Structure 1
Amino acid sequence: MTGENQLVDASPRTPDRAPVPPAPVLPAPLVPAPVPVVPASRVRRLAVPALTLASVAAAFAYVGTVDPNEPGHYPVCPLFRLTGILCPGCGGLRSAHAFAHGDLVTALGANAMAVIGYFGFAAFMILWLARAYRGGPTPRFTLKPRYWWAVAVVALVFCLIRNLPFGSALAP
């Protein structure tokens, strides 16, 4: 070289290519217009809680009519049949029968935990119906896992106590 700075093209030679055509322009996607939120009518809001309440009332009416104290109408608890151990639900039908007839003392004697459940369900239904009537949000029944564990422990303790001699008052 002669002392002059020369630029040398080091890239390999490629044959001339045809120009790449531009990408086609697509139309903008159609976005539906926002639908106005129309509040549901009171009858529509009350339909689900009212049907739930009617279903539970029908079940209580059936148990109130067909006495579980008479043999042959309902199946025997499988745990009690196999082991002789009263589960937390044993006596629930007798409790519902007494509760449907307004005999709270007999209902508590048959299954006290079930009676607590009846009152809890009644409170939930009152809340649900009141919110549906006013147009409020549907109540959600969510518990943290530690509360579910607490309910399970209470049911287990209830089961243990009612099967021991000193807890015979809790047995149906």
Structure 2
Amino acid sequence: MTSVGGPAAQPGPGIGSAAPEQPVPPYPGADPAAPPYPYPPAYQVAEPDRFTRFVTRLYDRAPRWAVPLAALGCVAAGVAYALVSDPTRSAPDAAPSCLLKLTTGLDCPGCGGTRALWYALHGDLPAAARHHFLFVFALPFLAYLFVAWAGRQAFGWRLPQLELSPKVLGGFLALWLAFSVARNLPWAPFVALYV
């Protein structure tokens, strides 16, 4: 039995004791005598391949109106497709082209958008809204955003920017989700939204 006045306890490697100085390698396999800094990079930057270098050079040398012109070409191709295909004249028993509608019979969030675009291009906004109300609602905003962006990129225009907060975007997406669910409900008045 030890007395109260026995030998003093030796400090162990616990709290309050100083650990012996030993060199710690900065990463596995490193020389323990090497200084701990600098650490190796977390990732290695890969050299771009030939195609990436070509695209980067092409982008750097392209005039500033080239990207808006390419985007306008994509929009024009979509508009041309809607005009040429005339989605309003499909046969009543034709198989739908929408994969979700083909497999489940349900209208997807975008169903009716091509028909709405066709009617909007022909100036029939009530029919366009009947096929996809939210598309018709969003169309002027999308057109303005595109014109403001393309004008700034190509010509340096400083049109007022639409400030869409996350709450506005979240509200629009929630409304779109509610619209997508409501148009598939099989009772009145929701059956009027079915396309």
Give the TM-score, by structure 2 length: 0.54
- Deviation sequence 1:76-113 (CA, Å, 0-9, x none): 22222233222221111111221222222211111111
Distance 1:73 1:56 in 2: 27
AA aligned to 2:191 is: S
Structure 1: gaps of 5 or more residues: 1-42
Identical pairs, percent = 34
Distance 2:121 2:145 in 1: 18
Q: Which residue of 2 aligns with 1:21?
A: none
Distance 2:143 2:75 in 1: 10
Residues 107-122 of structure 1 mapped to structure 2, 5 A cutoff: 107-122=128-143
Q: Which residue of 1 aligns with 2:58?
A: none
Residues 21-170 of structure 1 mapped to structure 2, 5 A cutoff: 44-69=63-88, 70-71=90-91, 75-135=96-156, 148-164=169-185, 165-170=188-193
CA RMSD of superposed structures (Å): 3.3
Q: What's the secondary structure of 2:65's corresponding residue?
A: helix
Q: Is the 8 A contact 2:184 2:194 kept in 1?
A: yes
Q: What's the secondary structure of 1:124's corresponding residue?
A: helix
Structure 2: gaps of 5 or more residues: 1-61
Distance 1:74 1:146, change over 3 A: farther
Give the TM-score, by structure 1 length: 0.60
* Higher relative contact order (Cα pairs below 8 Å, separated by 6+ residues): 1
AA aligned to 2:86 is: D
Distance 2:94 2:73 in 1: 23
